[in-house]
Amino acid sequence: MSSAPAPRSNTGGAADADGAATGRLEGAGPDERAETVSPAYGAAAGSGEVVHIVGARPNFVKAAPVVAALDARGVRQSVVHTGQHYDDRMSAVFFRELGLPRPDVDLGVGSGSHAEQTAALMTGLEQEFIARSPELVVVYGDVNSTLAAGVVAAKLHTPVAHVEAGLRSFDWSMPEEVNRRLTDQLSDLCFATSPEAVGHLAAEGVAVDRVHLVGNPMIDTLLGNLDRFDTAALRERLDLPDSYVAATLHRPANVDDPEVVARLVARLHEVADQIDVVMPVHPRGRAALTAAGLAEHPRMHLLEPLGYIDFVTLVRASAAVVTDSGGVQEETTILRVPCLTLRPNTERPITITHGSNRLVVDSELPGLVSKILAGESFGAGAIADVPPLWDGHAGERIAAVLADWLSGAPAGANRGA
């Protein structure tokens, strides 16, 4: 995999795997081509600035080591926070704890339907990109902010780098699957966290010189903060039991349908019959879970959303985790905490083959927790060495590729003529 791929064609269309430009009129002359692109698009030379787009708590954890590594190399950069997650407990606390620079811009988009939110994100980001004329836009993960930034940058002919490229659940009912697939097709640089992600990108026709296996920057953040995960202090401060299962649920498939929520709450209560359950309640599912009586069990401990340090400390001290979060699957793989993922699929299968993660349905929860508490095998893959390159240096590898790319990218590369 090359460290400095050539930027895509600047004819106004993305290049295919062979470098041939697509998306323009055959035989169109210069004047005709100019009519297909607004004069505001691609008119300015690149500023040399790298702009990071973050919008939700998983983005912050992944961006922190990349921003730090680029700063060590003296790369000029800025952080644009879209405001997709806007509550202090879901956003600002992460910047404080992870040492991320205060965002240069906070678009304050807030919540809404997928269409409403993505439209507002695209409008705000277009204004920012036109004003800043960045040399490169870096996006993270698979939230709506990621796709919105990729689309806007591509239409402005600004190069895009996608951190955490190539993950696939093959479940098109998940908005995240749509976001990550489209973002990868729009990206000039695809940074993969695991070998199977590289294979997915190759199968989808992404040119090999755009793909880089770099490891997982989320693990950089985890390993860099190990000495801050003080489990005894957290237990005392939050008045937690000595032994508990940690739970976190927010995906639509688990918290939107009242019938599904009622069944899931009943299963969590069955788990609580065996061991205390501590659950920071995500705003995404709070109303439905409350209406289903989640708190109506003496051993259910419901918390407000936690910051990064407190949440990972909670996971580290738990007997097991029940979750539908992709990032938590990765964190438990490193922390070696049994993880029961309430999903029919995962875009992170490496957490099953290299960790202690297992995909489950709600009816399995009580029995599997019982096995875990008894020290029995609960059917996860054999715990192996940590996944390749999950060593705390992914941010540095990403920064090295970006620095090489920037040094070789002509001003205004990938912009309209």
Q: How far apart are CA 403 and CA 330, in angstroms?
A: 27
Nearest to 176 by CA among 61, 53, 14, 346: 346
Active-site residue flag, 250: yes
Query: Which one of the listed residues 85, 200, 212, 250 is annotated catalytic?
Result: 250
CA distances (Å), origin 189, targets 31, 181, 194, 394: 31, 14, 15, 15
**Phi then psi dihedrals of residue 395, to 5 deg:** -60, -40
What length does the chain have?
417
Helix (H) or strand (E) holding 353, with range, is helix 350-353
Q: How far apart are CA 339 and CA 323, in angstroms?
A: 7
Q: Are the CB atoms for 134 and 158 separated by under 8 Å?
A: yes
Q: How far apart are CA 144 and CA 181, in angstroms?
A: 12
Q: Classify residue 358 by its DSSP letter.
A: E
Q: What letter represents residue 357's amino acid?
A: N
Residues involved in catalysis: 250
